[in-house]
Each structure stands twice: as C-alpha cells, then as structure tokens.
Amino acid sequence: RPVNGKVAMTGEVTLRGRVLPIGGLKEKVLAAHRVGIKTIILPKENTKDIEEIPQEIAKQLEFVTVENVSEVLKVALLESTADCCQEISALPGGYENSINTGFGNSIGIETDAQIS
C-alpha cells in the first residue's frame, strides 16, 4: 500500500517494532508544519512534549501517539493506489516534488540507529 504524503512520523523503532521516545519533538513538528504535513505520528511517551509546540500551530495538526509499528502502519498507509495519486497531486510541486525526495514528504523518520 502507498504511504500517505501528508503524514510525518518520528520515533526510534526497535527490532521488535516498539516505538521509543525521541528528543527535539518541537523542532520536528515545526518543520513538518512548514512543508504542509497535517498529521504527526509520535511515540506515546512523547505526548507530554506536545505542550511545547505553539498552540496556534498545534491546533492545525493531528497528533497520533503510538507504541508499536502496527499502529504506525494503520495511520501512515493509504488504502489504495488511487488515494496515493490524489495525495501526490495535492503536494506542493505535485508529482515532480514526490519523485525528487524519494520518500514523499516524510520527515524525521528514525530507526534503531536514531537518525535525526
């Protein structure tokens, strides 16, 4: 299934699929907001950090807290390829922009190596 280009995720993912907390949530959310992201998936343990985000920005976003990768996939993946085409055409720069990045507008995706 295609990935929703309006969703960003941050967190550390273990080999067993647990999503662990990260630092710098405020900065990552502000960057995601600047490029038009509407939904942010974040580790449940970072819920308290949402308070640091300016209220005028936070109210424009949907925050989804997760504990494991299966929860991430439910939010991050679209149901069909047709949905994907609609998402891509809605991105700034449309289809051309999605090809250049290689990952749509995904921001701050981290792995066990804690890539920031």
Strands 7-9 and 39-43, bridge-based pairing: parallel
Q: What percent of the chain has pLDDT over 70?
A: 68
d(CA 87, CA 78): 9
Q: Is residue 41 packed enough to be buried (19+ CB in 10 Å), middle (13-18) or exposed (0-12)?
A: buried
Output the CATH code of domain 7-101.
Answer: 3.30.230.10
More confident residue, 109 or 32: 32
d(CA 67, CA 16): 11
What is the band of 20 on the pLDDT scale with cuts at 50, 70, 90? very high
Instruction: Give the mean model confidence (pLDDT) for residues 64-69.
Output: 96
Q: Where are the domains of the chain?
A: 7-101
| Closest CA relative to residue 3, chosen from 88, 101, 112, 99 | 88
What is the band of 1 on the pLDDT scale with cuts at 50, 70, 90? confident
The pLDDT assigned to 45 comes to 98
**pLDDT tens digits along 79-106:** 866 545 555 555 554 444 333 333 333 3
